[in-house]
Structure 1
Amino acid sequence: MRRLVKSFGYAVSGITYTAKTQLNFRIHLAAILAVGLAGWYFKLSSAEWTCIMLAIGLVLVAELLNTAIELLVDLVSPGFNAQAGKVKDIAAGAVLVAACISVAAGAIIFIPKLI
């Protein structure tokens, strides 16, 4: 049981590190707050909340993985390396794809409520 509690502590530490050091992660957190308030205001259905939560989770996981990949690349390749740069670009691209999917899901849910 102690190992389980410690592993949760490590995970929270990783999330905290990302929130403190990554501007984009903080931007995503602000967007989550805005979407949450909008969802509350528009009284989203359970299905709509489920879609929103999945979209939020997708973006946050992508951002956390991107941060981990960037740190690992910097560790194994501290100097300039074109291949290392491509790895970082691809990881950032994954975040962009996740964010675009989330924006599309949000648009599908919120635009009809605004019209």
Structure 2
Amino acid sequence: MRNKFLGTGEPGYHPLRKVAVVLAGLRYAALHDFSVLYKVVLSVLVLGLALWLRAWVDAAVILLATGVVLAAELFNTAIEALCDFVETRHNDRIGIIKDVAAAATGVAILAWAIVLVVELMELWPRLAALRAG
């Protein structure tokens, strides 16, 4: 694909190719980074429960929180990989950059975990009522 900012690459815009690149990146991250995989699995389980109970707003909140935490994890992974590519030896500045990226991810993980716990606490009584009666 053509990079419109750098003026490099092949000309033409292909939306399906972009979707394929997104899915390939997410697949790679899920298969090679456990922190991405477990967040996807937990989110899909809670999202599935919300959709099954027809809690549409809850499902939207879970989807939004999951999107934010996955984006943070992917940015963190990309930043760490880029830092390791640029500087293979120990460098205190690179360490600070990695720490800041990890902190941003940590904030997103905390928000995601709070959303999942709150949503589970809200959905659990509805599930119990459905099973009881």
* Secondary structure of 2:96 counterpart: helix
Superposition pairs of residues 23-102 of structure 1, within 5 angstroms: 23-40=34-51, 43-102=53-112
After TM superposition, the runs of 4+ consecutive aligned structure 1 residues lying more than 6 A away are none
Contact 2:69 2:109 in 1 (8 A): yes
Taking a change above 3 Å as real, the CA distance of residues 102 and 47 of structure 1, as seen in their structure-2 partners, is same
Taking a change above 3 Å as real, the CA distance of residues 114 and 16 of structure 1, as seen in their structure-2 partners, is closer
| Structure 2 unmatched ranges of 5 or more | 1-11, 126-133
Superposition pairs of residues 100-111 of structure 1, within 5 angstroms: 100-111=110-121
| Structure 1 unmatched ranges of 5 or more | none
TM-score (normalised: structure 2): 0.73
Deviation, 1:40, is 4.3
Note the alpha carbon deviations across 1:16-65, whole angstroms, 9 max, x for none: 22122212111212212332343245x15211111111011011111111
Distance 2:105 2:21 in 1: 23
Q: Paired residues, what number?
A: 114
Root-mean-square deviation over aligned CA pairs:
2.0
Pick 1 or 2: higher relative contact order, CA cutoff 8 A, min separation 6. Answer: 1
Taking a change above 3 Å as real, the CA distance of residues 39 and 74 of structure 1, as seen in their structure-2 partners, is same
Match of 1:7 among 7, 13, 18: 18
Which residue in 2 is equivalent to 1:20?
A: 31
Which residue in 1 is equivalent to 2:130?
A: none
User: Which structure has the larger Rg over C-alpha atoms?
Assistant: 2
Distance 1:113 1:93 in 2: 30
Percent identity over the alignment? Answer: 26
Distance 2:54 2:112 in 1: 16
